[in-house]
Amino acid sequence: MKVCGKILNVQNDVITVRVQADAQNWCLDHRARTVELRLDDGRSITAEQRRKIYATIRDIAEWMGDTPDAVKVYFKWSFCGDEEHESFSLSNVDRETATAFLTYLIDFCIQNGVPCSDPLWDRCEDVERYMYACVMTRTCCITGKKNAQIHHAFTRVGMGRNRNEICHIGMTVVPLAPDIHTMLHYSGGEAEFYEKHHIVPIALTEKMCKHLHLGRIPAS
């Protein structure tokens, strides 16, 4: 059994570690007497990153009808080719590469509508990249549903302003499914809603507005 914990104290050759309750119960049930420790040096992939990566790989594998091992091999190969990155192992890769690889997997899930066991906003580490992918594919950043509505954050486009005639460049938006969009309007506070779901509105660029056919594009 693999578990994560927090080091509470180090004194001579004794290290005190706090682990989750299920790990304690497992040790008691199996009368475990020895452990293998992997100490985090602050640079290598974290256990949480590894968990998110493997969970996403399992979701993709189930969607593709393939094995997680085969999917892992393919996506590592694809990532290294697309990003011109050298081969790596998920056992000791650096955190920056782990974040980039996780983002690569999440992008694939968004673009292809892969159903995932956890909300992708809870898995992503590059929130801006996640929001960009959701906006460009009109995917709800909360539920993952397609054909999301583009909600303009902290403003009321459409109330006294024709959304087809104004320029949207620079406005911050969030892609939301219709039911979530309605929920937001009645939530009582946008900032609290975004904080609860770990999302950040993203500013529209000219490229995004053209892709989404939003409003008027100023002449160059």
The ranges assigned to domains in the chain are: 1-37, 47-122, 138-212
pLDDT classification of 4: cutoffs 50, 70, 90: low
Percentage of the chain exceeding pLDDT 70: 85
Q: Is residue 152 within 8 Å of residue 207, measured between CB atoms?
A: no
Angle in degrees, 0-180, between the axes of helices 95-112 and 47-64, rounded to the nearest 10: 30
pLDDT value at position 144?
Answer: 93
Q: Does the pTM of the predicted model rise above 0.85?
A: no
Across residues 9-18, what is the average pLDDT? 75
pLDDT value at position 201?
Answer: 96
Token duo for residue 19: 């682990």
The pLDDT of residue 14 is above 60: yes
**3-state percent breakdown (helix, strand, coil) of the chain, nearest 5:** 45, 10, 45
Token duo for residue 142: 């909360």
Across residues 95-110, what is the average pLDDT? 97
pLDDT classification of 189: cutoffs 50, 70, 90: confident
The pLDDT of residue 76 is above 90: yes
pLDDT classification of 166: cutoffs 50, 70, 90: confident
pLDDT value at position 186?
Answer: 85
Distance CA 150, CA 11 (A): 55
Amino acid present at 145:
K
